[in-house]
Structure 1
Amino acid sequence: MKKEINPQESIRANAFNMWMSSPVPMVTLVKTFDVTRLVKVSKKSGVKFNVLMCWCIGKAAKDIKEFYLLLENGKLFQFDRLAINVIVENSKGDISSCDIPYSDDLQQFNNDYQKLTAQAASECKSSFLEDYMIIGTSTLVHTEIDCIVNQYSGKFNNSFLAWARYRKGWFKTTLPISLQFHHVQMDGGHAAKFLQRLQDEINKL
């Protein structure tokens, strides 16, 4: 469910007053993750690497209350559930946007992911979940990239993670991941806490 809340009565009152008028309010953090466990589980289970990564993102974010807040048209909204957005290459060679509802049940999340992304690819249509707080993601698997910084359009203020191809080493596989977020939504400390939780979720998978 999506509801408007009074910024001055929210946990982000000071941040709203400070960053609301900033011309470039987005912050980007980059962390190199050890994804050795993720790769092993993907190969053993047959679940795609990207599905597992998106599920771990949702699991890491679900208990951080700032992830349920969204600044939109100068107003602050609060949600009670999360979804992960993925970008799908469709049958026309273009891209479609697809929101996947987060579930603690990995099998359910995987089923939804496969169904919704296949539908987006075949029908060449984007699908959106308006009552979910969306965490955006994007992957560029054709090469390794050190860092991705998304443009700020002023239209989308959702938190956004991006990554490219993982890097295989002798003893571990690593992957730099970029996290962009609106400073009204959270501070650097919240983002850093989330990134550490994401690594922990990957390790526990």
Structure 2
Amino acid sequence: MREVDPKSTSRALAFELWMKAPMPMVTLIKTLDVTSLVRLSRRRGYKFNMLLCWCIGKAAAGMEDFYLLPVGDKLMEYDRLAVNTVVTTRNGGIATCDIPVSTDLEQFHQDYLKFTGQVHESGENFELGEDYMVIGTSALARYEIDGAVNIYAGCYNNPFLIWGKYRKKWLRATLPVSFQFHHTQLDGIPAAEFLERLQREIRQL
């Protein structure tokens, strides 16, 4: 992670406009076709949540905007991405876990099982450190929701995705996903493009 001069990046105007905005977060909601994730999960024994997190990481990794993030009053640049997921702990609580983004599904799968298992047992958050730009996620997998708008605390500007239970109709499965992002990091068009990329990654499975 390193500080960069906003004027030297494509986010110069956005930095000027939105860094001091009282509510700089934007939320887009899109219904995804997740049929291929459901089928692969059943066929190979993968967790559905792991597969979706992997697709999120792959979609983000191909967009340069995801490697920039406003932190405090600075714009920081990263070389690596991670996806964060919420884990139920052994004592019934919850904790969060970072998984490094990988283009290799099996590598991501092994990291996912290792780190989430560690968090489940210890009950403590697992963070990869400041070298990673982290994409937050939260799955309310028992409940059908149409969308969610996350809180804005002013200290956590990372992009964040929330989803609930996928819906089955005939031979298809769909899932509404809420995507929140800081306007300094992304404009509406690249944010919508990210969701399109996510859908393509899912279908390619």
What TM bracket, shorter-length normalisation? over 0.9
Deviation at 1:22, TM superposition (A): 0.6
Secondary structure in structure 1 of the residue aligned to 2:154:
coil
Counterpart Cα distance in 1 of 2:35 and 2:141:
17
CA distance in 2: counterparts of 1:42 and 1:53, whole angstroms: 10
Q: 1:30 maps to what in 2?
A: 29
Which residue pairs with 1:154 in the alignment?
154
Question: Is 1:122 equivalent to 2:118 in the alignment?
Answer: no
Q: Say yes or no: does 1:10 pair with 2:9.
A: yes
Corresponding residue number in structure 1 for 2:38: 39
Name the structure 2 match of 1:199. 199
Offset at residue 171 of structure 1 (A): 3.0
Whole-angstrom CA distance in 1 between matches of 2:171 and 2:126: 40
Report the CA distance between 1:92 and its aligned residue: 1.9
**2: distance between equivalents of 1:104 and 1:142?**
29
User: What is the match of residue 139 of structure 2?
Assistant: 139
Give the counterpart letter for 1:157 in structure 2: N
CA distance in structure 1 between the partners assigned to 2:19 and 2:47 by the alignment: 39
State the alpha-carbon separation in 1 of the partners of residues 142 and 39 from structure 2.
20
1:52 aligned to 2:51? yes
Measured in 2, the distance between the counterparts of 1:36 and 1:92 equals 33
For residue 65 of structure 1, report the CA deviation from its aligned partner.
0.4
> 1:66 is paired with a residue of what secondary structure?
helix
Q: Which residue of 2 aligns with 1:100?
A: 99
Name the counterpart of 2:170: 170
Q: Aligned partners of 2:192, 2:204: CA distance in 1, in Å?
A: 19
Deviations 1:4-37 (A, max 9, x none): 1011221100000011111000000000001111
- Kindly tell me the number of residue pairs found equivalent between the two proteins: 204
- Aligned-pair distance for 1:127? 1.1
Distance of 1:40 and 1:171 partners within structure 2: 10
Quote the offset at 1:112 in angstroms: 0.4
SS at match of 1:141: coil
Structure 1 runs, 4 residues or longer, greater than 6 Å off: none
**Deviation string for 1:51-110 (max 9, x for gaps)?**
100000011111100011111110010001110000111112211110000111100100
Letter aligned with residue 25 of structure 1: P
1:142 to partner: Cα distance:
1.5
- Counterpart of 2:82 in 1: which secondary structure? strand
1:88 aligned counterpart, secondary structure: strand
Aligned-residue CA RMSD (Å): 0.7
CA distance, structure 1, for counterparts of residue 62 and residue 201 of structure 2: 13
2:188 alignment partner AA: G
Letter paired with 1:166? Y
Percent sequence identity over matched residues?
A: 53
Gaps of 5+ in 1: none
Any gaps of 5 or more consecutive residues in structure 2? none
Partner Cα separation in structure 2 for residue 171 and residue 117 of structure 1: 31
Give the CA deviation at 1:129.
Answer: 1.5
TM-score (norm: length of structure 2)? 0.98
